[in-house]
Amino acid sequence: MITLKNETLTALISETGAEVKSLSRAGEEFIWEGDPEIWKFSAPMVFPICGALKDGKFIHRGKEYALQKHGFARTSEFSVSKLSEEEAVFTLAATDETRAVFPFEFELRVIYTLEGERLAVRYEVENKGFEKMYFSLGSHEAYKTPEGIEEYDVIFDEPVSLAKTVIEDALTTEKTVPVLKNSSVLPLYHKSFENDALLFRDVAFRAATLKNRVNGRGVRVEFPDMRHMLLWHVKKSPYMCIEPWDGLPDAADADGRIENKLDVTELEAGKIYKNVHFITPIPRGENK
């Protein structure tokens, strides 16, 4: 377990999955502890796919590959290639095991940096091979809501109108359902998550704040270059995931060929893809 610390924040990050297991401010914890009886993860990243593939597989150059939902990064062992008091670089490179399910040469770097009151999470994917690489990437942090999610709102910086994309059998459909109309406040209810996550595609906003409407406790998540945002939790559980994604689950009518995958990122040989999001814990009583 790697510890990062500055005058404001302390973060604990596991080499397994390069996963944040704790983010605290003034002794107050903001990351879900990962209860195996509810949901074992705390803040897994999703790579090289976001969500599920149709039939759990894809085709590349005529060969079929089976890849589990959200990919393998969240259960892989990363090496720590750089470490200081306020920054750590976690690295995962292609192996025979990854090539069996994802036939590309890559190096994935997850860079955590404490920047005053916020944690920066930077992703770099380098195509180390000689052909174009296809992938998706996103985050899946779960934030503690000890009072229960129904005492929390998701707040946007300005009024928005939102429609969730309907997910059926873990796949993306073209169906949508209105969720919010011209408002900056989205109240949270358990019933909203009875049929999977709330998936908001191609969002125009660049930040969302999870906040207890009574005591002000919460987190602000900024994602300047992520295209989609999801909200998700296991019903009745005391956490809420805010998930910036740069990718989507397969479409229900996907043909299986990875180059045709819905919202896939194409990365030329030798190139590096970069993305980032920021997490700012908000202690009780603060108004941010």
CATH number assigned to the domain with residue range 2-282, chosen from the 4 options 1.10.510.10, 2.40.110.10, 2.70.98.10, 2.40.50.140: 2.70.98.10
Contact indicator for 245, 90 with CB cutoff of 8 Å: no
pLDDT at 62 over 70: yes
* pLDDT-derived band at 287, boundaries 50, 70, 90: low
pLDDT of 34 higher than 80: yes
**Looking at the DSSP assignment, which residues form a beta bridge with residue 122?**
111, 276
For residue 94, pLDDT over 70 is answered with yes
pLDDT at residue number 286: 62
- What is the distance between the alpha carbons of residues 73 and 90, in angstroms, rounded to a whole number? 11
Structure tokens at 220: 């602000």
Does 91 score more than 60 pLDDT? Answer: yes
Q: Which tens digits make up the pLDDT trace of 247-269?
A: 999 999 999 999 999 999 999 99
pLDDT at 123 over 70: yes
Which percentage of the chain shows pLDDT scores above 90? 90
**Tally of CB atoms within 10 A around 83:** 13
Q: What is the Cα–Cα distance from 115 to 144, expressed in whole angstroms?
A: 21
- Res 285: pLDDT: 79
* pLDDT tens-digit series, residues 194-230: 888 999 999 999 999 999 999 999 999 999 999 999 9
pLDDT tier at 288, thresholds 50, 70, 90: very low
Where do the structural domains in the chain lie, given as residue ranges? 2-282
Find how far residue 275's CA is from the centre of its chain. Answer: 12
Give the integer Cα–Cα distance in Å for 117 and 86. Answer: 12
Phi, psi of 96 (to 5 degrees): -60, -35
How much is the average pLDDT of 164-183? 93
* Report field, pTM of the whole predicted structure over 0.85: yes
pLDDT tens-digit profile of 142-163?
999 999 999 999 999 999 999 9
Q: Mean of the per-residue pLDDT values for the chain?
A: 95
- State which amino acid sits at residue 54: K
pLDDT tops 50 at residue 274: yes
Per-residue pLDDT of 129-139, as tens digits, reads 999 999 999 99
